[in-house]
């Protein structure tokens, strides 16, 4: 991907939310004490995002939150808790869209701390799509033709840890395959694979499990899919940028912009609803909706703001 290796690898690994957050907080603090940065940038809504923000603010180091202001308004999602807390301890909030800025204002955050920058996911897609075209051979390895397969991912706790919901998703995929005949490529997340075995759920005919793909390979799968079905937040954005229609296997989303422009639709996990949403979206591949997440220059804008505010190293 033409980026340098990290200077530090925390090595927290898998575990409960409390374990990951606690271990991350402990290990990040050691790095911050050693390096003494002027500002810590945290991205998104993961447990490491929360750990990094807390470690910094407790050491009286400024915090900048990239992808600030996203809200699903569902506290059952651990990601929602992570992003809300990170936003409220941050000194600079880099909101991807006007809607995310409005969310922050409604929560009483000072407007002078908020900057609309676009989302760095667009920067990454634009940069790495071309690199992937040169380096990735994933379509050849899987014997796939562009726009003649569907792509599905599931990993969220509320879906894969619930036998009923996970079973419904599989039934929905079965209905979609029977309706359209396209093979469904399913890069299986380790968490999901474990739960499939635990729940003794059968993979439907037409659904092809493959090993998790690296970013460049996955970007090529995503760009060439006829339709994406996912419970991922990032994939809702990426598919929108790539002009690939998306069906979200959730009851809510913190990316409402994708719904508003017609790139995405919420299906939940009811099998018949998944099928109906797939029918609505599958032929939207050629629709030229407007990308609401920016022009691929978010990273440069963030650096410019840091320099202007005197927070970052020159």
Catalytic residue ranges: 155
Q: Which two tokens stand for residue 268?
A: 């939940």
Among 33, 34, 56, 52, smallest CA distance to 43 is for 52
**Virtual CA dihedral for 236, 218, 66, 191, nearest 10 degrees?**
80
65-68 LR contacts (CB < 8 Å, sep 24+): 65/41, 65/90, 65/92, 65/93, 65/94, 66/41, 66/42, 66/94, 66/117, 66/120, 66/302, 67/43, 67/94, 67/96, 67/100, 67/119, 67/120, 67/121, 68/93, 68/94, 68/95, 68/100, 68/104, 68/114
Contact 76, 158 (CB under 8 A): yes
Among 98, 275, 44, smallest CA distance to 180 is for 275
Contact 173, 204 (CB under 8 A): yes
Contact 121, 241 (CB under 8 A): yes
Q: Give the Cα separation of 118 and 297 in Å (integer).
A: 7
Q: Which two tokens stand for residue 104?
A: 């922050």
């Amino acid at each position: 991907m033409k980026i340098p290796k990290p200077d530090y690898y925390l090595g927290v690994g898998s575990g409960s939310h409390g374990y990951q957050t606690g271990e991350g907080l402990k290990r990040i603090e050691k790095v911050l004490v050693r390096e003494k940065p002027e500002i810590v940038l945290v991205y998104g809504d993961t447990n490491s995002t929360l750990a990094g923000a807390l470690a910094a603010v407790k050491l009286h180091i400024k915090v900048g939150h990239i992808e600030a202001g996203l809200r699903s308004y569902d506290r059952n999602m651990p990601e929602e808790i992570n992003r809300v807390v990170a936003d409220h301890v941050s000194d600079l909030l880099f909101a991807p869209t006007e809607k995310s800025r409005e969310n922050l204002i409604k929560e009483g955050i000072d407007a002078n701390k908020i900057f609309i920058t676009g989302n760095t996911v667009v920067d990454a897609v634009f940069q790495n799509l071309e690199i992937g075209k040169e380096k990735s051979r994933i379509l050849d390895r899987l014997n796939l033709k562009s726009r003649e397969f569907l792509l599905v991912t599931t990993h969220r706790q509320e879906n894969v840890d619930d036998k009923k919901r996970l079973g419904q998703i599989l039934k929905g995929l079965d209905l979609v395959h029977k309706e359209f005949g396209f093979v469904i490529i399913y890069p299986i997340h380790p968490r999901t694979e474990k739960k499939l075995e635990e729940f003794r759920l059968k993979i439907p005919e037409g659904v092809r499990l493959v090993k998790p793909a690296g970013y460049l390979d996955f970007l090529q799968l995503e760009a060439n899919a006829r339709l994406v079905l996912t419970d991922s937040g990032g994939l809702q954005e990426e598919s929108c940028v790539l002009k690939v229609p998306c069906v979200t296997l959730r009851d809510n989303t913190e990316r409402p912009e994708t719904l508003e422009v017609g790139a995405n639709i919420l299906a939940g996990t009811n099998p018949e609803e998944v099928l109906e949403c797939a029918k609505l979206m599958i032929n939207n591949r050629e629709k030229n909706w407007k990308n609401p997440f920016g022009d691929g220059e978010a990273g440069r804008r963030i650096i410019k703001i840091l320099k202007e505010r005197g927070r970052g190293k020159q």
